[in-house]
């Protein structure tokens, strides 16, 4: 079988450990023949470098704090120097202060709101802006970010992160409109609950996971690898006519009324 993404270069932001959904996508695109550049936030460097060593092609691994414009610029400068262009970008970054998730939504702090929107949403804009010229020289590209049903529905202990995900999904649509004339597609995957590092910060997560397992049409929770496969599809040429979409990968849970 021909490697469907052979020759493609992608940047994957948001890998923290082997449970990260960004990592599942990295594995899927690498298996399809793509070469990837991975970034890390300082405390995750060791984990990311260990994971990168398991991928083919000796991936470039770079620091990137998405709140630091200089580090973002340095990442794209290195990609330009190393590869001359970029075919896809995976944005898997989200963060909110624990107090702004665990408390009542009414008690969300101004600084906490600002942090959640900056890290979880504005970072997609900043990264897309850096990727745009490198994708343009390739004749187009694909950007995928990660969302959750909490953007549309209220989930316990999700609070300001739900608002951030709603803003993220709106950002996907506006970026899709801006970048579409250059054949750069922008989509989101709204994944069902998966045991990741981010999920560990949500109080009662096990209960949410249990409800999905019991109620979803497929009567199970999803696996990270299913998000990986969907990501590889959206990033590849098979999805070349799809942009501005939020694709739900949640065992069908979102179709239920009760």
Q: Show which residues are catalytic.
A: 158, 165
Which residues, 6 or more positions from 139, have their beta carbon under 8 angstroms from its beta carbon? 183
Sheet holding 9-13, edge to edge: 60-63, 35-40, 9-13, 88-91, 141-147, 184-191, 246-249
Residue 74 CA: distances (Å) to CA of 62, 68, 77, 102, 123: 9, 10, 5, 35, 15
Q: How far apart are the first and last CA of the chain?
A: 43
């Amino acid at each position: 079988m021909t490697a469907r993404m052979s020759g493609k270069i992608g940047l994957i932001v948001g890998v923290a450990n082997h449970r990260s959904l960004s990592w599942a996508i990295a594995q899927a695109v690498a298996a399809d023949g793509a070469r990837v550049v991975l970034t890390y936030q300082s405390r995750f460097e060791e984990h990311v470098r260990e994971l990168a060593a398991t991928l083919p092609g000796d991936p470039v691994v770079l620091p990137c704090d998405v709140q630091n414009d200089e580090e973002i610029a340095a990442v794209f400068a290195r990609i330009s120097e190393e590869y001359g262009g970029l075919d896809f970008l995976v944005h898997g970054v989200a963060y909110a202060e624990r107090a702004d998730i665990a408390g009542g939504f009414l008690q969300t702090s101004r600084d906490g709101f600002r942090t959640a929107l900056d890290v979880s949403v504005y970072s997609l804009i900043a990264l897309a802006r850096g990727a745009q010229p490198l994708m343009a020289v390739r004749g187009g590209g694909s950007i995928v970010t990660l969302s959750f049903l909490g953007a549309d529905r209220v989930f316990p202990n999700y609070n300001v992160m739900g608002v951030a995900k709603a803003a993220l999904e709106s950002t996907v649509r506006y970026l899709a409109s801006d970048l579409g004339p250059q054949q750069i597609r922008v989509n989101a995957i709204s994944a069902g609950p998966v045991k990741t590092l981010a999920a560990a910060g949500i109080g009662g997560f096990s209960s949410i996971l249990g409800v999905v397992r019991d109620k979803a049409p497929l009567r199970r929770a999803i696996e990270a690898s299913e998000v990986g496969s969907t990501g590889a599809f959206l990033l590849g040429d098979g999805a070349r006519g799809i942009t501005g979409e939020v694709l739900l990968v949640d065992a069908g849970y979102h179709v239920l009324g009760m």
